[in-house]
Amino acid sequence: MRGVLAWNKDFALLKRSPFKIAGPASDRTSYIRDFHTSRFRSKDNKEDDKSSALVLHAFANAERKEKEAYLDIIREYKNNNELRRGHVEFIQVALKYMDDFGVNRDLAVYKVLLDVLPKGKFVPTNAFQTLFMHYPKQQYVAIDLLCKMEKNCVIPDVEMQDMLLNIFGKHGAPLKKFWRMMYWMPKFANLNPWPCARPAPKDPRILARLAISKISSVDVQTKIVEFETKDIEDAIEDTWIVSAMSSIQERLLETQSLNSPVCVEGPYTVWVVDQCIDYFVLRGESRKHNEYEDIDDVSNIKIPFWDEKEIVPAPTVHEQNDGTYFAMCATGTSTKDSLLSWIRCLQKQNPILNVIPVIFKVSSFSKEQLYIDTEKSKDKVMHVKE
Amino acid sequence: MTMRIFRKILTDFAIGKRRLHVTTNLSSFYERDRKSGYKIVYDRPPPEQNLSIIGRLREGCRQFKEEFGIWLEEMREKFKMDPTLIYRSNEVDVAWRFNRDPKSLDQWVITCDSDYEEGFSTAKLELSPIGTGIFSGTLSTRLPKDGRIKNAGFCNITTIPKQKSFKRDVCHDWTPYTHLILRIRGDGRCYTLNISTRGIFDLMWNDVYHYVLYTRGGPYWQYVRIPFSKFVFTSKGRLQDDQTVIMLHEVTNFGISLGDDINGHFKLEIDYIGLECDEYHNEEFAYESYNFSGVRF
């Protein structure tokens, strides 16, 4: 409508070459902007006027889902595209595909994506614009971007603040979100007592070591040893075993009575970041400790002078109420044979295992997933206890 | 016949049918009910009783007798005036415990997003062979395809509200205590502890204090001791700018929830949840309590 009016009113003006907007603060900005856009609309400029649908599908159609391809699409959109038509939709779609491209924890990518928004254009110039949410869609999409960062535990930096200030000015809603994030996120960033690098390492051996060290952090004396099954004579499989045993546990195992057997039990699961690791335990019966005496009970007073003096050592951390834990391990294959190799490895250090009967209580595996299928978890094969 | 067609043309006029386009955005913070419009789902549906009028009267009398007994007990307790005066440190007062007692499970309400058709997680709470409570299930972040839900995947257990005689809701009074104690055995995932202090006005219905519970995993019991001063104030899961110290005399519910965005099974074994008073813990609030009264934000 505005274009038509302009056409009728001032034809000669349109023939002129387009204005260059000096700055957002200029008085005649809005007037010039109208002519500017209508000029571009009336012009049949294929280079500048890119079809945004093509760009939006670029994420879905990308051959390699990786960081470079993702950045290429953003670069393609930005290049020779001064109007940046549909930039809100573009950022929305780009945010949606971040997880697929594996860039959802990359601060640099978030910055490149935020850079799509033009600088200076959305800065409010008077109090009313500030009051009534200047360019709300653009502000909401920037908040969405920050929320996505928050969800993926990416702490923004000062450069991001400068970018947001240049885009929305200091009164913008995204800035408020940003400042809240910068206030709270560093407070909670290092809370985890068992920190782990993100993304989690892919090598199962490193993961198993992380998992075992996480579990055995209960006893600082624990030594984590990695065995190779090929070192054992009769081993069928060639795999690795990550085993944890502390000197307290060795002493406990020495004092274990030969009549009561010890069990190898498992697999139990433990989570390291977003990976699930199976582990096995070497467990014995729980030990009887001196019962708690009611000190108010005076019916049978013990006179300590002619009693035998005995010192009861405090139960160690490995003596839990459902059993005594002697060792823990995670193996590459989680099979019975690898567990047998584990016991053989432990026998060198603990000769008592040659004498004590060892029972294997290993639940069978199934390839059936306990997981609800997502596209991400399809490539993982999870062993599930039946 | 012609009249009917004529009337139909008149009444089914296109403009008359047109409706205002309404978006889901809330125009105000007015809340109609305490569940913010969520439907009521029962873990254990109340038994349906088809009683006659006489039967109902009899049932009412029975309940009155029962409640009156509880009330008498409360009154006796009140006139005895024998409160606990000394809270020794390292002495844990157990608030909730699963002691091989199936009735202790009735103290908890299990919620997950699939209850409200907002996701596909499942959760359950049951007793283990050694008598502890096991909160387990599967967390799924898969979104239902309704175009409304943006994030999914939570499982939660919450205690039922504390009641005194005649089914009146009361708050827990935890003022003498400084620490929350948990004896748990987790699976390495990260849970959230929620203490809700629901007020009487709709603005305060969703006040919850949160802290994170990191679990070690493995066969060893974990003894967790968290000071109440570390809990952060949120409303509807959003951290508030104006942080305040937790009101320990208005605790209405306690809950543990899981929502760490990792697809998969989980298992948290709980022995007891207790409270402790540490006289050497002088921290009032772990976060800055700025005065926001003059700040336009």
Per-residue pLDDT of chain A (386 residues; tens, 9 = 90+): 333 333 333 344 334 344 333 333 333 333 334 444 444 444 444 444 555 556 778 888 888 889 999 999 999 888 878 788 889 999 999 999 999 999 999 999 999 999 999 999 999 999 999 988 899 999 999 999 999 999 999 999 999 999 999 999 999 999 999 999 999 999 999 999 999 888 888 899 999 999 999 999 999 999 999 999 888 887 788 899 999 999 999 999 998 888 888 999 988 999 998 889 999 999 998 877 666 667 777 777 777 777 666 677 788 899 888 889 999 999 998 888 889 999 999 999 899 998 999 999 888 654 444 444 444 444 444 443 33
Torsion angle (degrees, nearest 10) of CA B104, B73, B175, B31: 70
Q: What domain count does chain B have?
A: 2
Rounded to a whole number of angstroms, the distance from the CA of A359 to the nearest CA of chain B is 18
Name chain A contacts of B287, Cβ cutoff 8 Å.
Answer: 187
Check CB contact under 8 Å for A271 and B189.
Answer: yes
Residues of chain B in contact with residue A211, where contact means CB-CB under 8 angstroms, are 188, 217
In 3D space, the residue among B280, B278, B282, B284 whose CA is nearest the CA of residue B247 turns out to be B284
> Which of B120, B138, B189 is nearest residue A370 as measured by Cβ atoms?
B138
Question: How many domains, chain A?
Answer: 2
List chain B residues with CB under 8 Å of A318.
220
- The B-side interface with A (CB below 8 A) comprises 120, 130, 138, 140-142, 151, 187-190, 212, 214, 216-221, 239, 241, 261-266, 287, 297
Which residues make Cβ contacts (< 8 Å) with residue A353, sequence separation at least 6? A253, A262, A343, A346, A347
Q: Do both B144 and B253 map to the same domain? A: yes
Tokens read off for B85? 């005066």
Q: Is residue B133 part of a domain?
A: yes
For residues B132 and B61, state if they share a domain: no
Do A176 and B218 count as a contact with CB atoms less than 8 A apart? Answer: no
Positions in chain B short of pLDDT 50: 16-18
Q: Same domain for B65 and B206?
A: no
* Cβ–Cβ under 8 Å, residues A382 and A360: no
B209 and B70: one domain?
no
pLDDT, position A309: 65
ipTM for this model: 0.84
Q: Which residue in A359, A331, A357, A334 sits closest to A345, CA to CA?
A: A331
How many CB pairs (< 8 A) connect A and B?
A: 90
Return d(Cα B210, Cα B243) in angstroms, integer.
12
Buried b (16+ CB within 10 A) or exposed e, A160-178: beebbbebbbeebbbbebb
- Does one domain contain both A57 and A171? yes
Task: Let me know if residue B269 belongs to a domain.
Answer: yes
For residue B296, list chain A residues with Cβ-Cβ distance below 8 A: none
Question: Do the domain assignments include residue A301?
Answer: no
Q: Whole-angstrom Cα distance, residue A6 to residue A301?
A: 108
Is A309 part of a structural domain of the chain? Answer: no
CB contact under 8 A, A271 and B151: no
| CA proximity to A224, closest of A237, A205, A197 | A205
Note the pLDDT of residue A315: 85
Picking from A151, A186, A221, the residue at the C-terminal end of a domain is A186
Whether residue A104 is found in the same domain as residue A152? yes
Residue A300 forms part of a structural domain = no
Distance from CA of A205 to the nearest CA of B (A): 18
Q: Supply the pLDDT for residue A20.
A: 37
Identify whether residues B71 and B114 lie together within a single domain.
Answer: no
All residues of chain B having their beta carbon less than 8 Å from the beta carbon of residue A215 are 188, 216-220
* Cβ-defined contact of B217 to A211 (cutoff 8 Å): yes
The answer to the question of residue A305 being in a domain is no
Chain centroid to Cα A171, Å, comes to 32
* Judgement on whether residues B228 and B261 belong to the same structural domain of the protein: yes
Its domain, for residue A84, covers: 44-186
Within this chain, do residues A250 and A181 fall inside the same structural domain, yes or no? no
Chain A: closest CA distance from residue B30 (Å): 21
A356 assigned to some structural domain: yes
- Furthest-apart CA atoms within chain B: distance in Å: 90
In a domain, A140, yes or no: yes
* Nearby residues of A240 by Cβ (< 8 Å), 6 or more positions away: A205, A226, A227, A228, A229, A331, A332
pLDDT, residue A369, reads: 46
Q: What does residue A245 show for φ and ψ, rounded to 5 degrees?
A: -155, 135
Residue of chain A minimizing CA distance to B240:
A180
Q: Is B206 found in the same domain as B74?
A: no
B118 and B59 in a common domain: no
Q: Which of A158, A186, A214 is the last residue of a domain?
A: A186
Is B60 in the same domain as B145?
no
Q: Could you tell me if B197 and B207 are in contact, meaning their C-beta atoms sit under 8 angstroms apart?
A: yes
Residues of B in contact with A382 (CB under 8 A): 264
Rounded CA-CA distance B194/B185 in Å is 18
Assess whether B113 and B216 both reside in one domain: yes
Pick among B23, B192, B216, B229 to test the A interface (most A CBs inside 10 A): B216
| CA A301 distance to own-chain centroid | 60
The verdict on residue B121 lying in a domain is yes
**Helices A158-168 + A107-114 axis angle, to 10:** 10
Angstrom distance (rounded) from CA B154 to CA B137 = 11
Distance between CA atoms of residues A254 and A322, nearest Å: 20
CB contact (8 A) between residue B188 and residue A180: no
Domain with B141 in it: 85-276
Name the region of B249 (left: φ>0; alpha: ψ -120 to 50; beta: rest): alpha
- Shared domain check, B272 and B250: yes
Residue B13 lies in a domain: no
Find chain B residues with C-beta within 8 A of A216's C-beta: 218
Which of A194, A218, A377 is closest, CB to CB, to B214?
A194
Same domain, A128 and A230: no
Query: Would you give the DSSP letter of residue B241?
Result: S
**Residues 6+ away with beta carbon under 8 Å from A47:** A80
The length of chain B in residues reads: 297
> Same structural domain for residues B63 and B98?
no
If asked whether residues A176 and A211 sit together in one domain, one would say no
Q: How many CB atoms lie within 10 A of CB A262?
A: 23
**Is A348 found in the same domain as A242?**
yes
Q: What is the DSSP letter of B251?
A: B
Which CATH number does the domain housing residue B149 bear? 2.60.120.430
CA–CA gap between residue A358 and residue A339 (Å, rounded): 11
CA dihedral B23, B26, B32, B37 (to 10 degrees): 60
Provide the pLDDT for residue B28. 67
Residue to substitute from A137, A271, A280, A369, interface B, most B β-carbons within 10 A: A271
At residue A359, the 3 state secondary structure works out as strand
pLDDT value at residue A52: 57
The first and second tokens of residue A194, run together, are 């068992």
Own/partner pairs, B100-106, CB within 8 angstroms, 24+ separation: B100/B127, B100/B131, B101/B131, B102/B127, B104/B133, B105/B133, B106/B44, B106/B160
One domain for residues A48 and A120: yes
Coil/strand/helix, residue B38 = coil
Which residue in the block uniquely carries the two structure tokens 């930096």? A157
